[in-house]
């Protein structure tokens, strides 16, 4: 069970504030401090922004978010800006919240967001781009690289030609182009920059300045403002930076007190055409009313880029709550605990699926909850009574009755199960109007309820049917119900509902008693019924799919969170594990060695005692000899004593004995061992029983004259530490790695990987000129070592391509060319090239080959001089795997 | 970097003669001879005549030189001023005021004030006694704010007085406005200096953008009565060949093959500055490829047609400029 949130995770006001600023710092701060649930609207706009950034050289982008107030539009736009900021830090983004229908004021606020220095920089890079385009140079020289090198200086393009080209392009986006071009050119002249900037920002400038710059006194008409924005778009995108412009609360701009403002609609239309054409991205954010008042052609232009943000479904509400709760929880969990499921549905009913209300109510409910206590339906209802606005079922009945009475309509109450479920206005044969009341509809049962409503509709041929739902009905069902009923209202307590109820009652009052409106034909109703049935089926499938999708999202969110130890952290973790494993291996080797030393010492002790025994026996025999009177017996004793002495001498001289003669069990550490080995003197020998003697031999044997002896000793050597010492001794041999290849292969065959020390050496220069065939014929995994040992002459490791895991390692090392994407990534960092299409299984196999953690991996050969490089390579493949996994998650997410 | 080219092999004592720079005939008499007519590129005789007529009428001489970058506008402007100085019989006592492109704005009035005040400073420098009335007018001019501008005819009076003060001291002055961004400056300057003995040369960027202008035909006709408009066009191959020969200062003959230059430079138009840059490099390349010590004339220092055409082709290819004009 996840821990209880330490503080109230919800924002009290539930609003997403957005500063009008282009500073990237604000955006990243916002993204850090504000959790964002990946609702469809958010995903949609983020996907569009990503598409825009990815295809930046192609078209611009156009997107429109619309929906009711508090549905999360600004939040969606904001998180899109944060994503753009993160993925393309040099993007220029403008955010504007319209306050009224004054476009000039809006323009001034918007352009002022860009600092003078940025505009100057943009203006200069625009000219650079133009000059490069003109001279046909595809690549600009990097900063610091001199443009003048050698006699072949590319002809510079005359600045006049560049300005001419700029004039053409500016004229294409701005009608008043000479003024704008002058303003841009004076931006870069120190004495006039401030005036030019002020003018571009729509501020008034002095008459002198305006005459000097050759521009008007101030930008003060909407058309020039529109040109200004279009020019700005062109300026940014031609300078090679993405441009995103978010216009929030468009309804305030398009509507003046509810009436459309045709001039502003025209301006917006112009921007919608021009900004994407200038390769910028325009995001419009509007309320339902704003969307409604956009002309048809404008809406068509927006087309697929328009995203209608709908009230939350129960699954989405759960996701929103989980996102906020998880943001303050220590441990992970994908549930909404401490909210109960009923609590969530109650929240949804009271909020009408509106994110802002939902968050406000969640905040209130959390405040009201006992510390550490569950938040259930009852608690939510109590909290909502104080904070919420949606009337309860009983309150709704009272409200409707009061409204009907106020209009003098006598309505009959129909009660079911002790609650009022509908009001009927009596007519002739059938009621002339029915107002049905329904509880908030949710998910599984809402289709059933809707079905029942439609059924009743056909059963009761009332002239007019209205349906009032408390709090919430999901968007899809709402459309169906609207077709079946004359009027469907959602009682969410908003002023809009109050007005609609008023209108409904007036309309009822206007229906004449008697015949009334033409009865809907049974045919029609039957048809609707069938459609409803279809919808029920479709709806059920949809519900399942949606549930699954949301589960998916939640799960992925969760996984992502679990991964949150991002790569640097993961790397540290890996490095720690590598060190741990390595220490363990060193300890094992040492233990093995010292144990062998002890055994040898014990054997020495046994030998010495045996010798002492023999000598004592001989002495006893000699001593006993004079005492024995019998001459033959005395001789026998003397001969026996001599024999014992001879036996002792033979024992002392025997090869087995000579091996253990000097064994000492004194080495306590490696340093100690080195000292002992140096003092070993004659005890050093390839076959000494004492490992110290063999170790001393390894240090002492001539690696060239005694090469073969060393090899044999190594193959026969049981102790890893001695083998490593032998290997290190061999590695200083005059023989080149190529000449040693047969021994290396033999060593590998006979389970003596230390022989690799012979291969993991730099090939001498003379041989790197003519790469020895024998190196190139090595198995690919050994060629990885060759490449690592010879970073300057990678050609040595070049051999036939293979499909083995080592191939990827070779590519990363640059053996297949330094421009191979893997090689670039290895040198320049993985983030340089994300889209490497390598199956994860191949990456995993390569990482396994190099692994210091799994037995047999190259990384476990701790004694190789190249071990640090091998670790780097291993970590590189781990990093690739890590990012590939993350990419996969992101792909699913968006 | 290879060692420096051995220009002395060609008998060139002061290095490459095709180094591109604006000629300044006012400051350096040798530059006067370097201004070449180039088979109709500029008509020096006509210009000289126009200057002399102006001088003899004791009035102003206005020139407007229209051309793209590196088309020789500044060189010609300086040449016109030096012709004026010569025709008016003024030697070292000739002052010039040059307004550079960076000083230009769209507002001609401050430009004109600066010009007049700068002339006053030059009079002070040259120790020309300024009459009190003129000194007062200058003071007033410096005091006036932008909102409180002097009338063009006030300025004309100051200019006239300035001119006569200079003339009384047996001196003269010339004015050069570089890259004039607006026609308003032309009309104001012609008005202000209408009664002054001076030469005023405007150069205009022959491009189509917001910080320059192009004269319409009607305007040209209207201007023609008092302003001499000179258009500097690009050179033909023939003219480049003449340029190569005319600017050769080494041991004769010119090492450029005459017909070769013609055909090498006929591919696309070259402004005179560009042509000079190309000639400069061609000469340098030829020298660098030459590893013997025999001085010009020898066969190996000669630049035959095939070599020239080849080099120019290589250079164009190298710059990736081939497709721009096509």
Instruction: Check whether A384 has a pLDDT greater than 50.
Output: yes
The helix (run of H) or strand (run of E) holding residue A674 is helix A670-679
Least confident of A374-388, A712-726, A821-835: A821-835
B182 chain-A contacts, CB cut-off 8 A? 214
Report the pLDDT value the prediction gives residue A142, as an integer from 0 to 100: 38
Residue B250 and residue B267 in contact, taking contact as beta carbons nearer than 8 Å: no
A152–B318 C-beta distance less than 8 A: yes
**pLDDT on residue A153:** 43
8 Å CB contact of A207 and B147: yes
Task: Classify A354 as helix, strand or coil.
Answer: coil
d(CA A8, CA A328): 8
Highest mean pLDDT pick, A184-193, A690-699, A820-829: A184-193
pLDDT tens, residue by residue, A334-382: 667 778 888 888 888 778 778 888 888 888 888 777 777 777 777 777 7
Query: Among partner residues B107, B181, B319, which is closest to A211 by beta-carbon distance?
Result: B107
Supply the pTM of this predicted model. 0.61
Name beta bridge partners: A434: A424, A465
Q: List alpha helices for A286-371, DSSP H.
A: 288-293, 296-302, 314-328, 341-351, 355-368
pLDDT score at A595: 82
Give the model confidence (pLDDT) of B24-45 as tens digits. 888 888 888 888 888 888 888 9
Mean pLDDT of chain A, nearest integer: 78
Which of A126, A239, A134, A165 is closest to B319 using CA atoms? A134
Residue B171 near residue B195 (C-beta atoms within 8 A): no
Supply φ then ψ for residue A163, to 5 degrees: -65, -35
Q: Summarize the confidence of residues A606-634 as an average pLDDT.
A: 82
Whether A476 and A308 have beta carbons less than 8 Å apart is answered as: no
pLDDT over 90 for what percent of chain B? 38
Position A141 pLDDT exceeds 50: no
Q: Residue A512 pLDDT > 80, yes or no?
A: no
Are B147 and A181 inside 8 Å of each other by CB?
Answer: no
Cα separation, A492 vs A360, in Å, equals 15
Query: What confidence tier does A866 reach under pLDDT thresholds 50, 70, 90?
Result: confident
Is B181 near chain A, with CB under 8 Å? yes
CB A212 within 8 A of CB B105: yes
Number of neighbours of residue A486 by Cβ within 10 angstroms: 18
Q: What is the mean pLDDT of residues A461-484?
A: 71
pLDDT digits (tens, 9 = 90+) for B253-274: 888 988 889 888 887 888 999 8
Q: Both tokens of residue A646?
A: 């001879």
User: Mean per-residue pLDDT for A64-68?
Assistant: 89
User: What per-residue confidence (pLDDT) applies to B157?
Assistant: 92
Mutate to test the interface with B, among A127, A211, A216 (most CBs of B within 10 A): A211
Q: How far is Cα of residue A745 from the mean position of the Cα atoms in its chain? A: 44
- pLDDT for A829 beyond 90: no
* Cβ–Cβ pairs < 8 A, chains A and B: 84
The model's confidence at residue A107, banded by pLDDT at 50, 70 and 90, is very high
Query: Residue A155: which pLDDT band, with cuts at 50, 70 and 90?
Result: low
pLDDT > 60? residue A659: no
Taken in order A496, A498, A499, A501, the sign of the CA dihedral is positive
Contacts of A169 in chain B (CB under 8 A): none
Q: What is the structure's pLDDT at A672?
A: 77
Q: Which two tokens stand for residue B36?
A: 């070449």
How confident is the model at residue A195, as a pLDDT?
Answer: 92
pLDDT at A774: 76
**Interface ipTM:** 0.86
pLDDT of residue A534: 66
Per-residue pLDDT tens digits for A754-793? 888 888 887 776 555 556 677 777 888 888 888 888 877 7
Element (H, E) at A168: helix A159-173
pLDDT over 80 at A21, yes or no: no
A525-531 average pLDDT score: 61
Residue A12 Cα distances to A357, A367, A385, angstroms: 10, 10, 16
The answer to whether the peptide bond before residue A258 is cis (omega within 30 degrees of 0) is no
* Best residue of A209, A214, A215, A216 to probe chain B, by most B CBs closer than 10 Å: A214
E strands within A442-571? 464-470, 487-491
Residue with tokens 């704005």: B105
Report the residue of chain B nearest A188, measured CA to CA. B102
User: Is A588 near chain B, with CB under 8 Å?
Assistant: no
Confidence of residue A532 (pLDDT cuts 50, 70, 90): low
Residues of chain A above pLDDT 70, percent: 79
pLDDT band at A1 (very low <50, low <70, confident <90, very high): very low
The answer to which of A713-717, A739-743, A835-839, B128-132 has the lowest mean pLDDT is A835-839
Of residues B178 and A730, more confidence is placed in: B178
pLDDT exceeds 80 at position A520: no
Sign of the alpha-carbon dihedral angle for B288, B294, B299, B301 = positive
The model's confidence at residue A150, banded by pLDDT at 50, 70 and 90, is very low
pLDDT tens per residue, range A80-92: 988 888 888 888 9
In this prediction, residue B321 carries a pLDDT of 47
pLDDT at position A151 = 38
Specify whether the CB–CB gap between A724 and A695 falls below 8 A: no
Q: Is the pLDDT of residue A176 over 70?
A: yes
Q: Which residues contact A690 (CB under 8 A, 6 or more apart)?
A: A597, A600, A601, A604, A659, A660, A662, A663, A664, A683
Model pLDDT, residue B92: 80
């Amino acid at each position: 069970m996840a821990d209880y949130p330490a503080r109230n995770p919800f924002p009290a006001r539930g609003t997403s504030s957005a500063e009008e600023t282009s500073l990237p710092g604000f955006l990243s701060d916002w993204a850090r401090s504000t959790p964002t649930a990946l609702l469809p609207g958010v995903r949609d706009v983020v996907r569009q922004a990503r598409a825009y950034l990815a295809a930046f050289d192609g078209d611009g982008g156009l997107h429109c978010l619309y929906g009711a107030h508090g549905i999360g539009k600004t939040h969606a736009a904001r998180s899109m800006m944060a994503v753009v900021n993160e993925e393309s830090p040099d993007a220029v983004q403008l955010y504007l919240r319209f306050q009224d229908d004054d476009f000039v004021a809006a323009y001034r606020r918007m352009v002022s967001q860009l600092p003078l220095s940025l505009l100057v920089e943009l203006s200069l890079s625009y000219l650079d781009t133009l000059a490069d385009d003109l001279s046909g140079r595809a690549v600009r020289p990097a900063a610091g690289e001199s443009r003048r090198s050698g006699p072949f200086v590319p002809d510079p393009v005359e600045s006049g030609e560049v300005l001419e080209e700029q004039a053409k392009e500016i004229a294409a986006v701005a009608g008043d182009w000479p003024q704008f071009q002058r303003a841009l050119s004076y931006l870069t002249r120190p004495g006039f920059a401030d005036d030019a900037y002020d003018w571009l920002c729509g501020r008034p400038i002095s008459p002198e300045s305006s005459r000097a710059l050759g521009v008007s006194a101030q930008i003060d008409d909407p058309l020039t403002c529109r040109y200004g924005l279009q020019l700005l778009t062109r300026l940014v995108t031609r300078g090679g930076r993405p441009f995103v412009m978010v216009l929030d609360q468009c309804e305030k701009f398009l509507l003046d007190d509810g009436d459309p403002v045709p001039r502003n609609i025209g301006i917006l239309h112009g921007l919608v055409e021009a900004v994407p054409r200038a390769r910028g991205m325009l995001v419009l954010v509007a309320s339902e009313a704003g969307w409604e008042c956009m002309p048809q052609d404008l809406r068509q232009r927006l087309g697929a880029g328009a995203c209608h943000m709908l009230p939350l479904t129960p699954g989405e509400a759960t996701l929103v709550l989980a996102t906020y709760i998880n943001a303050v929880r220590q441990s992970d969990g994908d549930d909404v605990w401490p909210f109960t499921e009923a609590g969530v549905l109650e929240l949804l009913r009271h909020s009408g699926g509106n994110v802002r209300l939902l968050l406000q109510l969640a905040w209130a409910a959390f405040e009201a909850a006992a510390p550490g206590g569950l938040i259930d339906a009852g608690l939510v209802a109590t909290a909502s009574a104080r904070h919420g606005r949606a009337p309860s079922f009983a309150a709704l009945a009272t409200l409707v009755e009061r409204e009907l009475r106020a209009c003098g309509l006598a309505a009959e109450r129909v009660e079911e199960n002790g609650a009022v479920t509908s009001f009927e206005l009596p007519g002739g044969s059938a009621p002339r109007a029915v107002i049905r009341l329904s509880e908030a509809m949710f998910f599984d049962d809402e289709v059933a309820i809707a079905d029942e409503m439609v059924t009743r509709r056909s059963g009761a041929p009332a002239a007019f049917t209205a349906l009032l739902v408390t709090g919430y009905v999901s968007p899809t069902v709402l459309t169906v119900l609207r077709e079946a009923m004359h009027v469907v209202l959602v009682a969410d307590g908003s002023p809009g509902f109050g007005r609609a109820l008023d209108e409904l009652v007036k309309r009822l009052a206007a229906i004449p008693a008697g015949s009334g409106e033409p009865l809907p034909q049974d045919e029609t109703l039957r048809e609707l019924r069938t459609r409803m049935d279809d919808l029920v089926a479709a709806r059920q499938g949809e519900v399942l799919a949606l549930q699954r999708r949301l589960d998916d999202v939640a799960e992925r969110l969760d996984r992502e969170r679990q991964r949150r130890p991002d790569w640097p952290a993961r790397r540290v973790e890996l490095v720690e594990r590598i060190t741990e494993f390595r220490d363990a291996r060193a300890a094992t080797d040492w233990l093995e060695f010292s144990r062998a030393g002890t055994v040898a010492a014990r054997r020495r002790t046994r030998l010495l005692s045996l010798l002492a025994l023999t000598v004592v026996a001989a002495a006893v025999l000699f001593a006993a000899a004079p005492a024995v009177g019998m001459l033959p017996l005395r001789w026998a004793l003397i001969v026996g004593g001599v024999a014992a002495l001879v036996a002792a001498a033979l024992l002392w001289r025997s090869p087995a004995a000579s091996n253990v003669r000097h064994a000492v069990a004194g080495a306590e550490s490696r340093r100690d061992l080195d000292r002992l080995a140096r003092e070993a003197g004659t005890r050093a020998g390839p076959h000494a029983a004492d490992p110290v003697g063999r170790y001393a031999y390894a240090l002492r044997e001539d690696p060239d004259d005694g090469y073969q002896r060393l090899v044999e000793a190594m193959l026969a050597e049981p102790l890893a530490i001695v083998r490593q010492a032998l290997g290190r001794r061999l590695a200083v041999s005059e023989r080149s790695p190529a000449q040693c290849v047969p021994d290396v292969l033999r060593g590998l065959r006979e389970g003596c990987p230390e022989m690799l020390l012979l291969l993991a050496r730099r090939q001498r220069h003379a041989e790197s000129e003519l790469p020895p065939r024998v190196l190139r014929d090595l198995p690919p995994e050994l060629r990885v070592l060759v490449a690592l040992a010879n970073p300057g002459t990678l050609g040595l490791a070049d051999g036939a391509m293979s499909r083995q895991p080592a191939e990827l390692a070779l590519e990363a090392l640059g053996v297949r060319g330094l421009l191979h994407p893997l090689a670039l990534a290895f040198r320049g960092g993985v983030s340089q090239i994300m889209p490497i299409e390598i199956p994860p299984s191949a990456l995993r196999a390569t990482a396994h080959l190099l692994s210091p953690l799994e037995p047999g991996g190259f990384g476990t050969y701790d004694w190789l001089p190249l071990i640090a490089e091998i670790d780097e390579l291993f970590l590189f493949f781990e990093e690739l795997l890590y990012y590939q996994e993350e990419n996969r998650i992101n792909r699913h997410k968006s | 970097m290879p060692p420096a080219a051995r220009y002395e092999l060609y008998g060139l004592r002061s290095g490459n003669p095709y180094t591109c720079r604006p000629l300044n005939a006012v400051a350096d008499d040798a530059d006067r001879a370097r201004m070449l007519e180039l088979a109709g590129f500029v008509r020096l005789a006509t210009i000289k005549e126009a200057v002399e007529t102006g001088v003899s009428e004791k009035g102003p001489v206005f020139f407007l030189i229209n051309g793209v970058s590196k088309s020789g506008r500044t060189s010609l402007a300086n040449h016109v001023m030096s012709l004026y100085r010569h025709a008016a019989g003024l030697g070292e006592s000739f002052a010039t005021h040059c307004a550079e492109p960076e000083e230009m704005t769209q507002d001609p009035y401050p430009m004109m004030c600066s010009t007049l005040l700068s002339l006053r400073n030059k009079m002070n420098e040259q120790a020309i006694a300024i009459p009190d009335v003129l000194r007062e007018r200058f003071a007033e001019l410096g005091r006036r704010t932008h909102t409180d501008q002097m009338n063009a005819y006030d300025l004309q009076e100051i200019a006239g007085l300035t001119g006569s003060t200079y003339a009384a001291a047996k001196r003269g002055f010339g004015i050069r406005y570089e890259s004039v961004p607006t026609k308003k400056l032309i009309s104001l300057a012609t008005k202000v200096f209408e009664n002054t003995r001076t030469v005023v040369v405007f150069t205009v960027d022959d491009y189509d953008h917001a910080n320059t202008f192009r004269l319409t035909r009607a305007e040209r006709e209207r201007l023609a009565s008092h302003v001499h408009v000179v258009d500097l066009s690009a050179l033909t191959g023939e003219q480049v060949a003449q340029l190569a020969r005319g600017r050769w200062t080494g041991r004769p003959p010119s090492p450029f093959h005459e017909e070769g230059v013609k055909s090498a430079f006929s591919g696309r138009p070259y402004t005179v500055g560009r042509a000079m840059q190309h000639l400069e490099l061609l000469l340098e390349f030829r020298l660098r490829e030459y590893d013997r010590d025999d001085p010009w004339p020898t066969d190996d220092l000669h630049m035959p047609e095939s070599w020239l055409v080849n080099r120019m082709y290589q250079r164009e290819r190298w710059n990736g400029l081939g497709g721009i004009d096509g």
